[in-house]
Amino acid sequence: MKMADFSSPSFYADPYPVYERLRKEGAFVPLMPGIWATGSYATTEMLLRDKRWGKEYLAYVHMRHGEERTKDAAFQTVHRSVLMLNPPEHTYMKGLLMKTFNAERIAEFRSNLQATTEHLVDSFIDKGSVDLVKHFAYPLPITAICILLGLDEEETLFLLTEGAAMVRPFLRVLDIAEISMDQIEAANAATKSLDEFFTRKLRKLRQSPGDDLISTLLTAEENGQRLTDEEIVASIFITFVAGHETTINMVANILISLYRNPDQLELVRQNHSLIPPCINECLRYETSLQITSRHALEDMEFEGISFSEGETIVICLGAVNRDPQRFIDPDRLVITRSDPGSRNLAFGAGAHYCIGAMLATAELEIALRTLFRRIPDMRLTNLDDLRWLHLSTVRGVETLQAAW
């Protein structure tokens, strides 16, 4: 196999045949010198919990694009963010972020989520049709993350109207597909614009901090040291991107999965208490974050293979979560799945387990409950003509048309 197998039009439309081939070729499959891929659940779970594997993002950028590109704004922002830190720096930063993303705060925030969701449905319910991506799945998580960041209405409106134009080019630098110099420059421009936006907000809150995530990072101190503005902005940036992009696509992916499996859709419609297990199963079946990676922090033997420091493992979560060695009948959507393999790795495992998992789950649950309650006769009208995003790492659709 080669890297290009994960960035073809056929892969974007349906990655699962490629994933099946990956699993059949072994626990680790070489893609190019220094880069391997895995689709094995057992291997991935061990790897994610092994402290010898971590993040060396700039080494990966160097390997793929050359040393000079490691200085680019987009790559530098990713490098400085919590996503790419290793302990103990990662432990400290994640602890700060969890002051906002913990169970108690998310429980308190559910009323905000519900009000936002009801308002969005109010905006289109009388029209009889809607693009659910543009008018529901997109604004819901963006509005939520903006509230948690402490942004005001004007700032939130800016990100709602301009954010997509900035985030989508930036996502290219997180993808494993080949990226052109023009795409890198577009990502750099988008990064600089968002960096400037969040830097301005940081300076405002420094004068008058509040009960929000940015203020938490601004006032944090350890051993007399505070985070630099660059560190704070990088983590705010990634929190914003990760805090909405995967949820946007997951809302759509859940609905697509259910409407393509009418028997499962009917179960949920008849019994809304099945929504939580439905979300869990759809995260396994059609997760929005399809690919992540880990890097060898030292020379080692792992699963019978010798790895050198800096080598990269591309972890195909879409393959991992359909591994027949773990899941019974993995290519079927079964929202009442209760076999021992019902636990999936959509949110990862180990030190880098998704910080926003509780927020994302709450958003998905409230979104589905509200849609099924308020528009019980909703149908999807473009299921046979879906345009999937041309991204390897993130799986989602451009539009999802609904009518009632």
How do strand 401-403 and strand 129-131 relate by DSSP bridges?
antiparallel
Query: How many residues are listed for the chain in this entry?
Result: 404
Give me the pLDDT at residue 170, please.
85
Domain presence at residue 402: no
Q: Please report which residue ranges of 208-274 form alpha helices under DSSP H.
A: 213-219, 229-259, 262-270
Enter the tokens of residue 306.
């010798």
Sign of the CA dihedral running 108, 112, 115, 120: negative
Phi first, then psi, for residue 227 (nearest 5°) are -65, 145
> Residue 340 has what pLDDT?
63
Answer yes or no: is 403 within a domain.
no
Q: How many domains does the chain have?
A: 1
Select from 365, 338, 345 the least CA-distant residue to 284. Answer: 345
- pLDDT of amino acid 67: 87
Q: What is the DSSP string of 43-75?
A: HHHHHHH-TTEE--HHHHHHHHH-GGGGGSHHH
Where residue 76 sits, what CATH number does that domain have?
Answer: 1.10.630.10
Q: Is the residue at 351 inside a domain? A: yes
Note whether residue 123 is domain-resident. Answer: yes
Whole-number pLDDT of residue 81:
87
Q: What residues of the chain score a pLDDT lower than 70? A: 223, 340-342
- What is the domain range of residue 14? 3-392
**Does a structural domain hold residue 111?**
yes
Distance of CA 93 to CAs 75, 148, 236, 256, 347, Å?
19, 17, 11, 36, 18
What are 301-358's pLDDT values in tens digits? 999 999 999 999 999 999 999 999 999 999 999 999 987 656 899 999 999 999 999 9
Q: What is the pLDDT of residue 345?
A: 96
Contact in structure between 190 and 74 (CB atoms under 8 Å): yes
Query: Measured between alpha carbons, how far is 353 from 4 in angstroms, rounded to an integer?
Result: 28
Bin 34: left if φ > 0, else alpha if -120 < ψ < 50, else beta.
Answer: left
Contact at 8 Å (CB) between 28 and 314? no
User: In this structure, is residue 130 part of a structural domain?
Assistant: yes
- The answer to whether residue 201 is domain-embedded is yes
At 59 the pLDDT is: 86
Residue 90 lies in a domain: yes
Instruction: Name the pTM for this structure.
Output: 0.94
Pairing of strands 312-316, 379-380: unpaired
Tell me how far apart the alpha carbons of residues 166 and 351 are, in angstroms, rounded to a whole number: 29
Cis status, amide bond into 88, omega within 30 of 0: yes
Q: Where are the alpha helices (DSSP H) in 41-180?
A: 41-49, 57-65, 73-80, 89-101, 103-124, 132, 139-149, 153-171
